[in-house]
A = this chain, B = another copy of it.
């Protein structure tokens, strides 16, 4: 795989200088165009030590305007990072639309080192790479331009390079004992690299192998690679935007994205026994018992550093707020955070839609409650046409992958759909209208959503079908009776925590 990167290709100083000034202007102009584009650029640098990874990043910072570039290199994890799933640190550093992020020792680093040193086997290595592929696909699907540069040096060339760096008084600090240790593992590294590159070179995020020996040659390869890909991508995104404008249903959509014709099929919600209820006395006892259990379990979870994520979805007026308050009441306010999900802020809008949820994940031992969640993508955004067809369709996979990362990290995850019947909703809307201190809860939008009940119901059905997995099942809550619903919610949370905490 690397034979073509050991040809000793060179660019003379004269050749380089001839190209330089025009190329610099081109790059600066492209960056200006990018600044108002609707996607970020993600550059990944990896490869052999001494092959010019850091130098390439510095060069980009020098040739482009560094104000619109985020550069990140990852060393050991901070404790705030350790307390979240592995990819949290990468999500939080992602560049917003219009900017460039350059990444070194990033999501490839741990799987690479672990496989190269024999700490993990083939199967685990492939699993880790699947995670990488899914991550990059998620970003690329959202429009990100991802370019990955593998900087290569042959074994002897690397040795020569390290030796020459060591001799240079200004550069010798770059060479550490670890570099030499890595050099001794050269063959194992190359074997790992071949496998990694072959596996993760996918259409939406290709590797470019760069011969790293000659700094002018390698600089031109990186710069021209970025220039060409960025030009093409700007063109491509313009075309996508045009198509979308033509086909997309806006806020004023004439017809919902889901045709009403299919709306009379039975859904998973039809299977619920909506007559379930608790009388006041049974409620008080059950609520007390379950809140007591929850309080004890959360103290244990806090001690052990086990985090909990609760997701609340449901019809308007289904009682999400009330259920959430019954949960939080059992918990110490210091260890719980309720995140209300409404319209995204502009910082959130400049990122992948999952970014706003990643950023809210709490530290170890905390409970994070989402009042509405990432499922908005396949519910309101789908039904109202805020997300394009391909966007909400691929969201099922993205969400499964996101939740899988939470669960694999040891987080207790519960997802609730609070279900009420259409009649019950009407009764609650009317009661809200009549109660002064509740009337703020009822908006025009609630009435509008109600008109699309059947369409929403189909969306809910598909959501449950596609995202209720063994590791992250949905709990459908029969919520016509608030008391029954609240007890069911708290009991479910307590059971889930107990299962993990033992």
Contact = CB atoms under 8 A, between A and B. Distances in A.
A179 to B, nearest CB: 16
Interface in A20-75: 25, 28-29, 32, 54, 57-58, 60-62, 65-73
Contacts of A73: 334
A422 interface: no
Contact of A79 (B25, B69, B78, B170): B78
B25 A328 contact: no
Interface residues of A, number: 50
A172 B260 CA distance: 58
A273 to B, nearest CB: 30
Contact of A333 (B32, B58, B333): B58
A57 B346 contact: no
A437 B28 contact: yes
Contacts of A339: 67
A332 interface: yes
A45 to B, nearest CB: 10
A28 B439 CA distance: 12
Contacts of A336: 61, 66, 71
A332 B73 CA distance: 11
Interface in A290-337: 292, 295-296, 299, 321, 324-325, 328-329, 332-334, 336-337
Contact of A321 (B29, B67, B173): B67
A78 B363 CA distance: 11
Contact of A347 (B60, B70, B347): B347
Residue with the highest number of chain B CB atoms closer than 10 Å, among A25, A321, A333: A333
A104 B335 CA distance: 12
B66 A324 contact: yes
B328 A62 contact: yes
Contacts of A295: 170
B66 A328 contact: yes
A340 interface: yes
Given A61-B328, A371-B67, A173 B299 contact: yes
Contacts of A32: 440
Contact of A80 (B58, B78, B173): B78
Interface in A91-129: 102, 104
A399 interface: no
A68 B338 CA distance: 8
Contacts of A337: 70-71
A193 B183 CA distance: 61
A62 B325 contact: yes
A429 to B, nearest CB: 18
Contacts of A321: 65, 67
A243 interface: no
A70 B299 CA distance: 20
Nearest to A62: B329
Given A58-B329, A62-B329, 20 more contacts: A25-B437, A29-B437, A57-B334, A58-B332, A61-B329, A65-B321, A66-B336, A66-B338, A67-B324, A67-B371, A68-B340, A69-B338, A71-B337, A78-B80, A79-B80, A170-B295, A173-B299, A345-B345, A346-B346, A347-B347
Interface of A: 25, 28-29, 32, 54, 57-58, 60-62, 65-73, 78-80, 102, 104, 170, 173, 292, 295-296, 299, 321, 324-325, 328-329, 332-334, 336-340, 345-347, 363, 371, 437, 440
22 contacts: A54-B334, A57-B334, A58-B332, A60-B333, A61-B328, A61-B329, A61-B336, A62-B325, A65-B325, A66-B328, A66-B336, A66-B338, A67-B321, A67-B338, A67-B339, A69-B333, A72-B334, A79-B79, A79-B80, A170-B292, A345-B345, A346-B346
Ranked 4 nearest A-B pairs via Cβ: A67-B340, A73-B334, A61-B333, A71-B333
